[in-house]
Amino acid sequence: MNPQDKRHRSGAHIWQSAKFRILLVGVFLAAFLAVIVFVQLPANAPAPAPAAGGTGETGTVDQQQEPSPTVAVVKKVMVDFHMQDLQHGWIKYTDSAAATEDGGANWLDMAPEQMEQLAADGSWQLEMADWFQAVEPPRTVSFQAKEFEVKKAQFLTDRIGWALVSHADHPEGSLLVTTDGGATWVDGAKPEGAAPEIAAQLQAESQRIDDMKREAAYYSAEGTAKEAIRSDWTLLPAAAAPGDVVLVRHKEAGEVVWEGKTYTLKPFGSGYFTYVPISMSAKPGQYPIGDQLLTIKEKKFETQYLKVTKQMESMKQETDKINADQKKIDLARSSSAPEFLFSEPFIQPIEGILTTPFGYTRYVNGKLDSSHRAIDLAAKEGTPIKATNDGIVALAELLYLTGNAIYLDHGMGLFSQYAHLSELKVKPGDKVKKGDIIGLVGTTGFSTGPHLHFTFWAHNVPVNPNLFFDSSPFLWLLKRSS
Ligand SMILES: [Zn+2]
């Protein structure tokens, strides 16, 4: 090869290199442009992001208004709901679901699998739901000054109800809740939670259900308990005789006026109660108490003639001693526990032989004495005496006429009395259980021989003890038609 050739060749090589350089420059240019584009992109990018920034500049405020219409478009539409009890429930939306465990104070998003489980559980009902008077679900409800159409309503009790409603202006639907049986409605699924007063009302309703359960245990059967609890007024029993006592139940606080005396209904369980003693002189007939009629049946009381020594007869003339004792007795019976202290039927305190039945008109040595509003059970001296039921000892003391005497408070104004004991086994304030030995049979005080003088007092009126044996005032409901 010659040098020219070499040059030529090298010349040709140079040309080729120049071409390559242009290519290189092109590549560089392209790369440079790409870098510019990349660098500039983030500078243009902030457009979708300012919502997170929120600096308050006029520019960003304009930009912030942009995304909100897209949020409104995906507003969730309620399609179904179910409350399982006062606290638990769920809402189904077109494409999601939420659940509450606190009566609507908070609604938390649920996973779809959870949702399916709950839907399958939808038949579950509030315990004792049928103990409440049924509420007819409304077809429309008034809410925020508009009439909303009810798509689904569910009343858990006679007071607490939920309703899925919608309005032409609110096609997405609302879940409303009432705590007054449907008179007024409030939003039960607000994002910020239900109003605090709703939570308080639901709590009160839970308490009411517990109170109902507590009260129901006192009746003979679920059916009678349900009947009493659902009623406005209940007489236990609806028919009585002179000398008996009736327990009156009302669903609200109030008073009962009977034979000129006013008795205040006291709260217990889910109702209000008072004992109403029927006087020995009550005339047969029907008398209204609340929305009920109390039937007073005819009853004849026998006469008993008692012969006592002159010395015993003179005991009744010691009026100072008798009056002093009466003050003690009145004081002991002046206050009673504000609840029924027993839960089971009463028992007869001793077996004994009935020597004087309840209500006998008594003549002592030929003179009219009084009607014997107790039973006398003769038994051997020292026979153990059982407490007729649970109670608190109100008085246990040696008194002039009744001898060693005990009064047990059974609550709500009812006392049992035990007289002429040889020995007292309890002292005032002692809590006793049904069947506890409280004393021994004797013949202390105005007594002709060892026996137990036993009776009940309701609001300071002696009442027939036979009603209580193997029974209790709540079980008297069964005697409705007798
Ligand atoms: Zn007696």
pLDDT tens, residue by residue, 131-146: 888 889 899 999 988 9
Cα 375 to averaged position of ligand 1 atoms, centre (Å): 6
Structure tokens at 163: 């309703």
Q: Please check whether residue 61 lies inside any domain of the structure.
A: no
Give the distance (Å) from ligand 1 centre to CA of residue 49: 96
**What does the pLDDT read at residue 69?**
46
Q: In what order do the strands lie in the sheet with 108-109?
A: 78-83, 89-93, 97-100, 108-109
Q: How far is the CA of 373 from the centre of ligand 1 (A)?
A: 8
- Ligand 1 mean position to 372 CA, how many Å? 7
Residue 443 Cα to ligand 1 middle (Å): 11
Distance 317 CA to ligand 1 centre (A): 18
Residue 337 neighbours by CB distance under 10 Å: 15
**Which CATH number do you get for residue 281?**
2.60.40
Distance 376 CA to ligand 1 centre (A): 5
Ligand 1 centre to CA of 468 (Å) is 17
Distance CA 68, CA 83 (A): 33
Q: Residue 314 Cα, ligand 1 centroid: separation in angstroms?
A: 18
CB atoms within 10 A of CB 88: 16
Judge if 324 and 473 occupy the same domain. yes
What's the 453 CA to ligand 1 centre distance in angstroms?
A: 4
Distance 369 CA to ligand 1 centre (A): 12
Q: Longest Cα pair distance anywhere in the chain, in angstroms? A: 176
Residue 385 lies in a domain: yes
Residue where one domain finishes, among candidates 296, 326, 351 = 296
Question: Going by C-beta distance under 8 Å and a sequence separation of 6 or more, which residues neighbour residue 33?
Answer: none
Residue 130 covered by a domain: yes
Residue 451 contacts residue 377 (beta carbons within 8 Å): yes
**Cα 155 to Cα 159: distance, rounded to the nearest angstrom:** 8
Place of tokens 């409800």: 141
- Look at residue 331 and tell me if it is in a domain: yes
SS (H, E, C) the chain: CCHHHHHHHHHHHHHHHHHHHHHHHHHHHHHHHHHHHHHHHHHHCCCCCHHHHCCCCHHHHHHHHCCHHHHHHCCCCEEEEEECCCCCEEEEECCCEEEECCCCCCCEECCHHHHHHHHHCCCCCCCCHHHCCCCCCCCEEEECCEEEEEEEEEECCCCCEEEEEEECCEEEEEEEEECCCCCCCEECCCCCCCCHHHHHHHHHHHHHHHHHHHHHCCCCCHHHHHHHHHCCEEEECCEECCCCEEEEEECCCCEEEECCEEEECEEECCEEEEEEECCCCCCCEEEEECCEEEEECCCCCCEEEECCCHHHHHHCCCHHHHHHHHHHHHHHCCCCCCCCCCCCCECCCCCCEEEECCCEEEEECCEEEEEECCEEEECCCCCEEECCCCEEEEEEEEECCCEEEEEEEEECCEEEEEEEECEECCCCCCEECCCCEEEECECCCCCCCCEEEEEEEECCEEECHHHCECCCHHHHHHHCCC
Instruction: Specify the residue for token string 């308490």.
Output: 207
Cα of 339 from ligand 1 centre, angstroms: 29
Task: Indicate the residue among 296, 318, 348 that finishes a domain.
Answer: 296
Rg over CA atoms, the chain: 43
Residues 442 and 359 in one domain: yes
Span from the CA of 406 to the centroid of ligand 1 (angstroms): 14
Cα 389 to middle of ligand 1, angstroms: 20
Give the distance (Å) from ligand 1 centre to CA of residue 440: 16
Q: Are residues 123 and 168 in the same domain?
A: yes
| The pLDDT of residue 20 | 47
Q: How far is the CA of 327 from the centre of ligand 1 (A)?
A: 20
What token pair was written down for 1?
């090869």
The answer on 141 and 114 residing in a single domain is: yes
Give, in degrees to the nearest 5, the angle at Cα 292 between 288 and 293.
Answer: 50
Between the CA of 455 and the centroid of ligand 1 the distance, in Å, is 9
Is there a single domain that holds both residue 371 and residue 250? no
Note whether 289 and 319 are same-domain residues.
no
User: What distance in Å separates the CA atoms of residue 92 and residue 105, rounded to the nearest whole number?
Assistant: 17
Centroid of ligand 1 to alpha carbon of 267 (angstroms): 34
pLDDT, residue 419, reads 97
* Spacing, Cα 358 to ligand 1 middle (Å): 9
How many A from CA of 417 to the centre of ligand 1?
11
Compute the distance from residue 374 Cα to the ligand 1 centre, in Å: 6
- Domain that includes residue 360, residue range: 303-479
279 C-alpha to ligand 1 centroid (Å) = 18
Parts of the chain with a pLDDT under 70: 1-75, 118-127, 193-194, 479-482
Phi then psi dihedrals of residue 476, to 5 deg = -65, -15
Distance 411 CA to ligand 1 centre (A): 24
CATH number at residue 467: 2.70.70.10
Judgement on whether residues 436 and 352 belong to the same structural domain of the protein: yes
Q: Is residue 338 part of a domain?
A: yes
d(CA 403, ligand 1 centre) in Å: 11
Residue at 108 is within a domain? yes
The CA 336 to ligand 1 mean position distance, Å, reads 24
Say how many Å lie between the CA of residue 475 and the centre of ligand 1.
27
Distance 357 CA to ligand 1 centre (A): 9
Same domain, yes or no, for 187 and 249? no
Closest CA to 459 of 389, 419, 410: 410
Q: What are phi and psi of 53, to 5 degrees?
A: -75, -60
How much distance in Å is there from the Cα of 378 to the middle of ligand 1?
Answer: 10
Is residue 164 located within the same domain as residue 266? no
Pairing of strands 239-240, 292-296: parallel
Q: 465 and 334 in one domain?
A: yes
| Cβ neighbours of residue 97 closer than 8 Å, sequence gap 6 or more | 90, 91, 109, 110, 112, 114, 115, 118
Asked if residue 312 and residue 253 are part of one domain, the reply reads no
Cα of 454 from ligand 1 centre, angstroms: 7
Position 421 in a domain: yes
In a domain, 174, yes or no: yes
Domain end point (choices 245, 264, 296): 296
Give CA separation, 279 vs 258, 259, 262, 357, 457, in Å.
Answer: 10, 8, 14, 17, 12
Q: Residue 143 Cα, ligand 1 centroid: separation in angstroms?
A: 68
Q: What pLDDT is attached to residue 17? A: 53
Q: Decide: 169 and 144 in contact? Cβ < 8 Å.
A: no
The total domain count for the chain is 3
Going from the Cα of 447 to the center of ligand 1, the distance in angstroms, rounded, reads 8
From ligand 1's centre to the CA of 11, what distance in Å?
Answer: 150
Q: How far is the CA of 450 from the centre of ligand 1 (A)?
A: 11
Whole-number Å distance between alpha carbons of 449 and 295 = 39
Are 252 and 349 in the same domain? no
